[in-house]
Amino acid sequence: MLPQKPANGAALRPGDVVEVRSAAEILATLDKDGALHGTLFMPEMMAHIGQRLTVSRRVDKVCNMVDESGSRRMRGTVYLEDLRCDGSSHGGCQAGCRVYWKEEWLRKVDDNHAARLGAAGMAASAELERTAGAATHPAIPVDESGAQVWRCQSTDALKASEPVRRRDIGQYWRELTNGNFNPIRFVALLVRAMAMDMLHHFGLMKTLPLQGPGKVGSKREMLGLKPGELVRVRSAEEIAATLDHRGESSGLSFDREMLPHCGGTFRVKTAVQRIVDEKTGRMLKIPKDCIILDGVACSGELSVNGRWFCPRAIYPFWRESWLTRVGDTADQPTEQSCHR
């Protein structure tokens, strides 16, 4: 029997304090593929069983990076704080995706409830861990090239969601009423998004905000950055000089969500060397410089192509040539705005 949703079926909202249900309860919700309504319960989530956490956002609409056919509708799903997959059971993937939590896996905090593990609970925990671990691999664990293939919540996103038509008014009504935004901020974001989308439709705003001077970007500056180092994001003009005519640097694009961080100072979170490709499930080895900055994530508020209000907060990847160490002689703060 599936456990009831929190609060007698009431949808969870940002700010609600919840407890992750026991292994036995979660296990009872999973199908033969280790998923609930297409959403995998991953081994990386095991550490949070029994924890009390705060709902940070409802996940009613997400951008689609698998086949890029448009946004997707998700149901009964939330984010808890900023919990992210550490990739420990997915070959060390460093994408750092936020983890989807189905409402059936959570209960609103009841001070009278105390989790009891016991022998039966320990057995259920071991079985859930085995089930979740098996679910990370598809039935055929290698593709035609012999490369290992992984499954995760991102690779299975199409199974866990359904298409959203761009003119579906319901998607905006849900964002207005689900607690993710206050009404004033929601209206301001919607007006801006619609204006940007119209400009994009008529060719007055490009998908990528910066383009370089030629077919090949300038030679990239290599800094050899390490986690914890303090860096400043270069100005839009400096970054544009490193890009090719498409707005990319050796295949890595500089997108509109990155513009507000120009001139900002951040710490290096990690240098990315491997990520699971959402489209194929294959592990991609990244031989060139690819940096994640601590505290910098996609807002879902500046993109075009109908991706507005996506809550995934994906980490953008940075080339070292777009950054400079704070304190370096070449580090010259700019007062110019990065917005175009």
pLDDT tens digits along 241-276: 999 999 999 889 999 999 999 999 999 999 999 999
Which has the higher per-residue pLDDT, 158 or 1? 158
Instruction: Specify the pLDDT at position 331.
Output: 55
When pLDDT is averaged across residues 100-120 and rounded to a whole number, the result is: 75
Burial per residue of 3-17, b for 16 or more beta-carbon CB atoms within 10 angstroms, e otherwise: bebbeeeebbeeebe
Instruction: Specify the pLDDT at position 65.
Output: 85
Chain mean pLDDT for the chain: 87
- pTM of model > 0.85: yes
pLDDT of 336 strictly over 50: no
Cα–Cα distance measured from residue 3 to residue 18, given in angstroms and rounded to the nearest whole number = 14
Q: What is the DSSP string of 185-244?
A: HHHHHHHHHHHHHHHHHTTSS-SSS---SBSSPPPPPP----TT-EEEEPPHHHHHTTSB
Which phi and psi (to 5°) does residue 23 adopt?
A: -60, -40
Instruction: Specify the pLDDT at position 1.
Output: 40
Cα–Cα distance measured from residue 268 to residue 266, given in angstroms and rounded to the nearest whole number = 7
Instruction: Specify the pLDDT at position 140.
Output: 67
Instruction: Specify the pLDDT at position 288.
Output: 85
pLDDT tens digits along 4-63: 455 445 799 999 999 999 999 999 999 999 999 999 999 999 999 999 999 999 999 999
pLDDT of 327 strictly over 90: no
When pLDDT is averaged across residues 227-236 and rounded to a whole number, the result is: 97
Could you tell me the pLDDT band of residue 115, with boundaries at 50, 70 and 90? low
Could you tell me the pLDDT band of residue 119, with boundaries at 50, 70 and 90? low
Q: Which H helix or E strand runs over 179?
A: none
CA atoms 145, 150, 154, 156: torsion sign = positive
When pLDDT is averaged across residues 89-110 and rounded to a whole number, the result is: 95
pLDDT tens digits along 180-189: 999 999 999 9
Q: Residue 228, Cα to own-chain centre: how many angstroms?
A: 22
When pLDDT is averaged across residues 214-240 and rounded to a whole number, the result is: 87
When pLDDT is averaged across residues 144-153 and rounded to a whole number, the result is: 83
pLDDT tens digits along 289-316: 999 999 999 999 998 777 789 999 999 9
**Cα angle at 23 between 21 and 26, to 5 degrees?**
65
